[in-house]
């Protein structure tokens, strides 16, 4: 794969956005991989070592998304694949996840009780159940991504990791370095930015490249809905383990998840940057918390970001988590010749469309992707497993870190009230949870509350070099 070396990335500026070579290469690969997948069931080869060609999977992080990812993994139809180990810090997550997967895939779940681990180092035990070439799913909150990925590299495993993959500058620098190591070891690594694997968006991308909307002048992205996930976090119940409380409510704490901003907005940011074929070089932003009541999390409930690309093109992003307001969960690209709808309502179905002119009206519809789009959550797994069985280069870490980083750039711009450049966020020295790899059940949490159970919040204009 002809990716630019990750080590060049700290010097981004103009280069910040030019991952186009790797992107197009990726697209070509994913196309061939898909085509190849159907031929491969009887002809697996390459790095996968298991004698019978069964790919073994371990699930680290058994919440809703991790369980969904495991189900997608077990649904790949190009050869034997089974789930052999699971890990979480919550029994209340692991057990129902196991029960549901057993029910859905009775012949493919072989995570016996001795291979189900409830502990902060459970990820090591789960990965110890695998052989080089098997796959580990890293689906904990992103704070733990880099230590878990470090161990996966040590073990020579292929990896599927959920987005975001980093939450701040220091962890991004670590992950870029780890990504480089994983490429050098020929590890196949998928990142859960599944929209990149969506057939509708891929065709739209080709059409935009083919000039169907002219040059992109401006893009808009929205995720505006009511309170989502654990972002609106209530005060900790008396007597709780504070570390576990923060992990359970990971959307509420920047160290754990990058907050509501990173977890909820990364897909819309990423799909726009994909269509633009570049990463933005700076961000300025507004945001605030209008409704807080007794919530103690670190999030704002409105975010409005202006991202600027190296050529001056803008991406305007709006995020809101207030109930009762106008809802919109969509991305658009405005070009000199027309308008592209990148996504319509959430992630799938994307219902990608192109309109002549700048208005969404049936009369001006120039193209639309046909109904019954394939599910991108499944496609991302079909592509990863096919690459493993066919031993093709397949590594999405760099792109995943870049997407996480430009997301954090917009978040930091809102939380500090300052213009934040790609360099600023990449080289930021505020590591939210430097000791995350050492956490254990009895550890103090990375963020401490005051005597009334409240946590530090961003103070735009007052605290400007860090987010809190």
Partner 1 sequence: MPVASFRLSSIPAVFTIAMAIVPVLRGDDPPPLDVPDAVAATEAEMKPYREMISLSEASIDMLPIQGGTFQMGTPEDDPEIEEDDGPQRTVKISPFWMSKFEITWDAYDVWMSDLDVFRRRQENLVASPREQLAEAFQLSQPTKPYTDMTFGMGKRGYPAICMTQHAARTFCRWLSAKTGRFYRLPTEAEWEYACRAGTTTAYSFGDDPEQLDDYAWYEANSEGAYQRVGKKRPNPWGLHDMHGNVAEWVLDQYTEEGYEPSDETLVDPLVIPMTLYPRTVRGGSWDQFADECRSAARDGSDEEWIAQDPQNPVSIWYLTDALHVGFRIVRPLHPPTPEEDAAKWDRSEPVQVERPQAEAGEH
Q: How far is CA 229 from CA 240, 261, 266, 322, in A?
A: 20, 12, 15, 13
Judged by CB under 8 A, does residue 228 bind partner 1?
Answer: yes
Quote the least distance from Cβ 266 to partner 1, whole Å. Answer: 10
- Rounded to whole angstroms, the maximal C-alpha distance in the chain is 63
- Interacting stretch for partner 1, rule CB under 8 A, among 106-114, 177-185, 289-297, 386-394? 289-297
Runs of H (alpha helix) within 326-418: 376-390, 397-416
Residue of 232, 271, 297, 382 interacting with partner 1 (CB under 8 A): 232
Residue of 347, 353, 399, 415 interacting with partner 1 (CB under 8 A): 347
Is 50 or 224 the residue whose CB approaches partner 1 more closely?
224
Q: Which residues pair with 285 in a beta bridge?
A: 305
Q: Report d(CA 402, CA 389) in Å as an integer.
A: 27
Judged by CB under 8 A, does residue 349 bind partner 1?
Answer: yes
Runs of H (alpha helix) within 251-391: 254-257, 259-276, 376-390
Name, in order, each residue with C-beta under 8 angstroms of 372's C-beta and a sequence gap of 6 or more: none
Residue (of 336, 344, 329, 280) closest to 308 by Cα position? 280
Judged by CB under 8 A, does residue 10 bind partner 1?
Answer: no
Judged by CB under 8 A, does residue 297 bind partner 1?
Answer: no
Quote the least distance from Cβ 95 to partner 1, whole Å. Answer: 10
Q: Report d(CA 365, CA 13) in Å as an integer.
A: 37
Residue (of 57, 58, 130) closest to 87 by Cα position? 58
Judged by CB under 8 A, does residue 419 bind partner 1?
Answer: no
Is 234 or 459 the residue whose CB approaches partner 1 more closely?
234
Please return the burial class of 329, using the count of CB atoms within 10 Å of its CB with bins 0-12, 13-18 and 19+: middle
Judged by CB under 8 A, does residue 291 bind partner 1?
Answer: yes
Q: Report d(CA 270, CA 308) in Å as an integer.
A: 14
Judged by CB under 8 A, does residue 411 bind partner 1?
Answer: no
Contact set for partner 1, span 313-342 (CB under 8 A): 323-324, 326-330
Residue of 8, 107, 113, 293 interacting with partner 1 (CB under 8 A): 293
- Interacting stretch for partner 1, rule CB under 8 A, among 61-69, 120-128, 183-191, 312-320? 61-69
Judged by CB under 8 A, does residue 294 bind partner 1?
Answer: yes
Judged by CB under 8 A, does residue 240 bind partner 1?
Answer: no
Judged by CB under 8 A, does residue 144 bind partner 1?
Answer: no
Is 253 or 377 the residue whose CB approaches partner 1 more closely?
377
Quote the least distance from Cβ 65 to partner 1, whole Å. Answer: 6
Q: Tell me if residue 408 falls in helix, strand or coil.
A: helix
Residue 65's CB is within 10 A of a number of other CB atoms, namely 17
Residues in contact with partner 1, counted by CB under 8 A, come to a total of: 42
Judged by CB under 8 A, does residue 377 bind partner 1?
Answer: yes
Q: How far is CA 255 from CA 117, 150, 247, in A?
A: 24, 19, 10
Judged by CB under 8 A, does residue 346 bind partner 1?
Answer: yes
Judged by CB under 8 A, does residue 264 bind partner 1?
Answer: yes
Q: Yes or no: say if 341 and 330 are a contact pair by the CB < 8 Å rule.
A: yes
Q: Which residues bind partner 1 (CB under 8 A)?
A: 63-65, 68, 71, 92, 96, 100, 104, 224-230, 232, 234, 237, 251, 263-264, 291, 293-294, 323-324, 326-330, 344-349, 361-362, 375, 377
């Amino acid at each position: 794969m002809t990716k630019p070396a990750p080590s060049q990335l700290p010097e981004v500026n103009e280069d910040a956005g030019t991952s186009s070579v790797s992107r197009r290469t990726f697209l070509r690969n994913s196309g061939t991989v898909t085509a190849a997948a159907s031929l491969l069931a009887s002809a697996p080869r390459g790095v996968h070592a298991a004698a019978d060609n069964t790919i073994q999977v371990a699930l680290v992080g058994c919440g809703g998304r991790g369980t969904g990812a495991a189900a997608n993994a077990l649904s790949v139809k190009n050869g034997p694949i089974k789930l052999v180990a699971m890990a979480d810090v919550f029994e209340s997550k692991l057990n129902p996840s196991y029960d549901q997967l057993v029910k859905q895939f009775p012949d493919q779940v072989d995570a016996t009780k001795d291979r189900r681990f409830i502990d902060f180092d459970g990820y090591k035990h789960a990965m110890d159940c695998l052989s080089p070439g098997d796959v580990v799913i890293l689906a904990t909150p992103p704070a733990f991504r880099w230590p878990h990925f470090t161990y996966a590299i040590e073990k020579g495993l292929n990896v599927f990791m959920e987005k975001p993959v980093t939450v701040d500058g220091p962890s991004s620098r670590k992950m870029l370095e780890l990504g480089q190591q994983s490429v050098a070891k020929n590890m196949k690594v998928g990142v859960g930015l599944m929209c990149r694997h969506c057939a509708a968006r891929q065709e739209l991308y080709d059409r935009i490249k083919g000039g169907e909307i002219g040059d992109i002048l401006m893009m808009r992205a929205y995720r505006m809905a009511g309170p989502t996930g654990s972002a609106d976090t209530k005060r900790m119940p008396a007597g709780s383990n504070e570390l576990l409380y923060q992990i359970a409510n990971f959307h509420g704490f920047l160290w754990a998840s990058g907050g509501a901003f990173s977890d909820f907005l990364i897909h819309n940011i990423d799909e726009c940057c994909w269509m633009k074929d570049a990463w933005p070089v700076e961000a300025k932003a507004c945001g605030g918390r209008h409704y807080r009541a007794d919530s103690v999390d670190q999030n704002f409930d409105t975010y409005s970001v202006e991202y600027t690309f190296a050529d001056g093109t803008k991406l305007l992003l709006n995020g809101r988590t207030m109930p009762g307001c106008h809802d919109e969960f969509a991305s658009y690209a405005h070009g000199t010749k027309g308008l592209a709808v990148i996504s319509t309502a959430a992630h799938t179905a994307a219902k990608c469309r192109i309109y002549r002119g700048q208005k969404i009206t049936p009369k001006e519809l120039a193209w639309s992707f046909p109904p019954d789009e394939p599910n991108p959550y499944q496609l991302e797994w079909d592509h990863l497993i096919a690459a493993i069985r066919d031993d093709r280069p397949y590594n999405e870490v760099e792109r995943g870190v870049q997407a996480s980083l430009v997301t954090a750039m917009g978040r930091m711009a809102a939380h500090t009230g300052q213009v934040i450049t790609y360099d600023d966020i990449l080289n930021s020295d505020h590591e939210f949870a430097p000791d995350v790899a050492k956490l254990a059940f009895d550890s103090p949490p990375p963020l401490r509350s005051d005597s009334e159970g409240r946590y530090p919040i961003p103070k735009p204009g007052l605290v400007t070099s860090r987010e809190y």
